[in-house]
Amino acid sequence: MRFSLNSRYSANFGDIHCADLNEIPAETIPSFDLLCGGFPCQPFSIAGVSKKQSLGRKHGFDDEKQGNLFFEILRIIDYHQPKVIFLENVKNLKSHDKGNTWKVIKSKLSQRGYNIFSQIIDGKYYLPQHRERIFIICFNQSYFPDLDFSFPNPPQKRLYELQDIFEENVDNKYTLSDKLWSYLQQHKENSKAKGNGFGYGIIDHKSEYTRTLSARYYKDGSEILVEQSNKNPRRLTPRECAKLQGFPDDFIIPVSDNQAYKQFGNSVIVPLINDIITQIKLTVDQYNTKYYLKSATPN
């Protein structure tokens, strides 16, 4: 997984250092102003918590393998004291453990001298995918003591619609086998009988947007299946997944289909992130201009 992820980044952006965050000494990281990242969402997501509970496993911060990576981010923050922090996670982060998880996160960041702004935004306003995520922006009070931040308004129109993501002449290997299609239909019927909504999701030419693309998409594609005439439905192709997340058409995908599905499922809505980053830069520039003019004005 680590090698393939590094391959994808290298193919598009050149050589980078890729390693386990737990193994990176903070002092070896070059100085920086903006920390941008996200700690694993599975310990906090609705589906992830449900699965871990059913298996008798710990979730949230008690998940030693994934949940504690937030504290590794704090370790980097403690050493470098970045001016701005930009974090992303699942919507359920705020409600996980009756809100206690969110209280811990806010408290840890506030104790380090950061003003915190957060908002849950649905990616469907940018691209045809229902993808609600929480975005957390923090400003170091040592540099921005009274800065106020507002998240950008979503565009009035999506960058493109669902029908625009589909490739032509899709290989038959993406069409579900009779066995898998029968299993998914039966699973949905069983879930319906139990009174829950678990089961596959299917899109057609009338659909406005898809369900959330997840890292488990490689398993059966069940959350987003594409209807086909006189055939079983099919998975999205890796290129269609890239498009659904907002990656450009010339983005190189040098890994296997399964790895691509995992990586795009774990990714973010690119134009939404770009909008937030642009808003951060605009806010900081305006603050610095205001501060400079104020300090330059004679008493």
Q: What angle do CA 267, 270, 244 make, to 5 degrees?
A: 70
Largest CA distance in the chain: 80
Q: Which fold has domain 20-157+270-296?
A: Rossmann fold (3.40.50)
CA–CA dist 172, 1 (Å, integer)? 26
pLDDT tens for 175-202 read 999 999 999 999 999 988 888 877 999 9
pLDDT tens for 107-127 read 999 999 999 999 999 999 999
Catalytic residue chosen out of the listed positions 18, 36, 41, 138: 41
Identify which has the larger pLDDT, 43 or 225. 225
Select from 3.40.50.20, 3.90.120.10, 1.20.1540.10, 3.40.50.720 the CATH code of 162-265.
3.90.120.10
CA–CA dist 41, 37 (Å, integer)? 12
Does the pLDDT at position 145 exceed 70? yes
What residue type is 19 in one-letter code? A
Map out the domains of the chain as residue ranges. 20-157+270-296, 162-265
Model-wide pTM > 0.75: yes
* Confidence at residue 233, expressed as pLDDT on a 0 to 100 scale: 98
Dihedral pair phi/psi, residue 90, rounded to 5°: -75, 155
* Confidence at residue 174, expressed as pLDDT on a 0 to 100 scale: 98
pLDDT tens for 217-245 read 999 999 999 999 999 999 999 999 999 99
**Residue 135 near residue 86 (C-beta atoms within 8 A):** yes
Examine the residue annotation and report whether 41 is marked as an active-site residue of this protein: yes
Mean pLDDT, all residues of the chain: 88
Identify which has the larger pLDDT, 244 or 11. 244
% of residues, the chain, pLDDT over 70: 87
